[in-house]
Amino acid sequence: MYDKSPYVRISEDAADCRVGWNEIGAAIRARLTGRKAKVCVECYPGTFIPSLVQSLSAELLPDQVLVADSCYLSPPEIEAKFKQFITDDPVFGRMNSITLDEFFDASKVAESRARLACEGLCLVIGTGASLLVDEWDILIYADLARWEIQQRYRRGEIGNLGINNREDRASLKYKRGFFLDWRVADRLKTKLLPQIDFLLDCNNPQIPKMISGADLHKGLDIAVQRPFRVVPFFDPGPWGGHWMESIFDLPRNKPNYAWCFDCVPEENSLLLGFGKHRVEIPALDLVLIESRRLLGEIVEKAFGAEFPIRFDLLDTMGGGNLSLQVHPRASYIREAFGMSYTQDESYYLLDAGKDASVYLGLRESTDPEEMMRKLAEAAVSSNPEFDVEAFVNKFPVRKHDHILIPAGTVHCSGRDSMVLEISATPYIFTFKLWDWGRMDLDGTPRPLHVTDGAANICRERRERWVAGQLMNYVEPIASGPHWREERTGLHALEFIETRRHWFTGPVEHHTQGNLNVLNLVQGDCAIVESPTNSFEPFEVHYAETFIIPAAVGPYSIRPAESHSPKEFATIKAFVRPSIAGS
């Protein structure tokens, strides 16, 4: 029953969504008042701009077309200018405050603006197009989800902003996108979305769709006042398993499914429903434009327009161990990468085989220097070997266990586990220490960061401390006629609080002005309802992650079947108010 294409219903009128270039062109032309006009199409990096130019030119018949990248600095100049933020590391760069105007050559911009002063209809298009005109008659934002961008990287269809690297490895293009392209585009997007006349959905080049700016904001307004889900995406990996393939009825055309990203709004899509049509926008648009109502005041104050909680699924059922890894401590990630918070996380066991396990913390007898020396030797060896269990604890785990992993703790989920990973959002910052000597799916070695890892391992987190502090630290909180509530973590060192509710009848919840993220970890189907009927009943299925915006306030969750004797369970995460407030 897992819904792989959830959407937010905005309108029953399919005509609110224009589909195909004929309808899109007609809507734009209807907004023009004459032939002397500037139509500005701002594009998110990764859109197929030559195709957009061709299609829109055929519809609008402009007298002049200006493509933004003709005014960029040269690729070598762009490479040199931003090298300090991209770095030579294969995975990590550095966060920054770069803006899109820094990609432009001032003399080329001046020349282009002079040409735009002529009579007639001008089409200005591309990433940064809005920076080339002082004013426009129509502003269109051509949007694209990050997951689709990643697929285009992998297929070799696109490179990064302003440089000629289309043939580079997808992982290197992703890194540059993460640290540079998407950051500059998001800063500009935040300013432009409130002003746009139209939003163009460019995720499927064969079926372009367009809605008005007013309908976009209507959609965001509706989404932020009700429960919703983002569109999950699935990806194979060298350790991936087959649980999701079966339970979620996924296509059998992949070697495995390692990840399901079902609540990473920075990369997931949000579908808006207009009659029979679905318009795909980045879920990040909601975060950027409605951060106060989505996150709540205290969370927005602490994190800005960033969604600080991530839920994803890690499948090793019939697969292998994840990499042995550690996440950077807060001071290290700030100083080394310019990131303001780190990836504290936890593993919630949705399911587990009989021999399922987790590697967590150092053994009491471990000599950290010896461990790091052997890890460094293995990292450069042509026949790498490393005895993980000689240095790292291995604990058996079972279904519904909750394993806490504050940053600085060595950890790894073992094979035959189905993990709901609950964590802070900056997930790219993982130091892999050991990957069992295997290759990535493309046949290349997976990058290791042993030196960075050595600087971040909390050496005092050994077996007795880990067993007492991080393994199933469950505390009863409250109970009622049909329910009981437990605190299951996260650790006091982490800013995310998690609560588990077991229930056979309705359970009352309240956001308390704070973002809530939940997953139905037991039970086939549950219903989320508003006591004031402020939103329609919302159906969730087993293993689905759903978001309750801070603006929702009170809500309840109950089994879909009344008087069901079966016990259901949800796990809920939110930012601890005391930590957010500080």
Residue 344 lies in a domain: yes
Q: Which two tokens stand for residue 98?
A: 């770069």
Contact 271, 279 (CB under 8 A): yes
Query: In what helix (H) or strand (E) does residue 271 lie, and over which residues does it extend?
Result: strand 269-274
What is the CATH number for 60?
A: 3.40.50
Residue 503 has pLDDT above 60, yes or no: yes
Find the radius of gyration of the CA atoms of the chain. Answer: 25
Which of 198, 223, 248 is the last residue in one of the domains?
223
422 and 535, same domain (yes or no): no
Beta strand 121-126 with 64-67 is parallel
350 and 412, same domain (yes or no): yes
Q: State residue 582's pLDDT score.
A: 47
82 and 171, same domain (yes or no): yes
**Strand arrangement of the beta sheet that strand 324-326 belongs to:** 392-396, 357-362, 411-413, 324-326, 431-434
Residue 321 has pLDDT above 70, yes or no: yes
pTM summary value: 0.96
Distance CA(520)–CA(543), nearest Å, equals: 5
Residue 48 lies in a domain: yes
Contact 59, 22 (CB under 8 A): yes
* SS3 label, residue 502: strand
Residue 249 lies in a domain: no
Which of 167, 195, 223 is the last residue in one of the domains?
223
Which of 440, 469, 498 is the last residue in one of the domains?
469
339 and 486, same domain (yes or no): no
Residue 510's DSSP bridge partners are 554
Distance CA(515)–CA(348), nearest Å, equals: 20
82 and 109, same domain (yes or no): yes
The per-residue pLDDT for range 139-163, each reduced to its tens digit, is: 999 999 999 999 999 999 999 999 9
47 and 77, same domain (yes or no): yes
Residue 406 has pLDDT above 90, yes or no: yes
209 and 316, same domain (yes or no): no
What is the CATH number for 551?
A: 2.60.120.10
Residue 411 lies in a domain: yes
Residue 51 lies in a domain: yes
- Confidence tier at 563 by pLDDT (50, 70, 90): low
72 and 106, same domain (yes or no): yes
Per-residue exposure over 513-548, b if at least 16 CB sit within 10 Å of its own CB, e if not: ebbbbbbbbbbebbbbbbeeeebeebbbbbbbbbbb
Residue 482 has pLDDT above 80, yes or no: yes
133 and 281, same domain (yes or no): no
Mean pLDDT along residues 97-120 = 93
353 and 434, same domain (yes or no): yes
Residue 251 lies in a domain: no
442 and 319, same domain (yes or no): yes
Residue 382 has pLDDT above 90, yes or no: no
Distances (CA, A) of 548 to 334, 341, 522, 528: 30, 23, 19, 10
**What is the span of the domain harbouring residue 340?**
259-469
Q: State residue 427's pLDDT score.
A: 63
- Confidence tier at 524 by pLDDT (50, 70, 90): very high
The per-residue pLDDT for range 2-49, each reduced to its tens digit, is: 999 999 999 999 999 999 999 999 999 999 988 789 999 999 999 999
438 and 504, same domain (yes or no): no
Mean pLDDT along residues 326-353 = 93
- Confidence tier at 433 by pLDDT (50, 70, 90): very high
Q: Which two tokens stand for residue 549?
A: 């915006």
Distance CA(431)–CA(422), nearest Å, equals: 18
Number of separate domains in the chain:
3
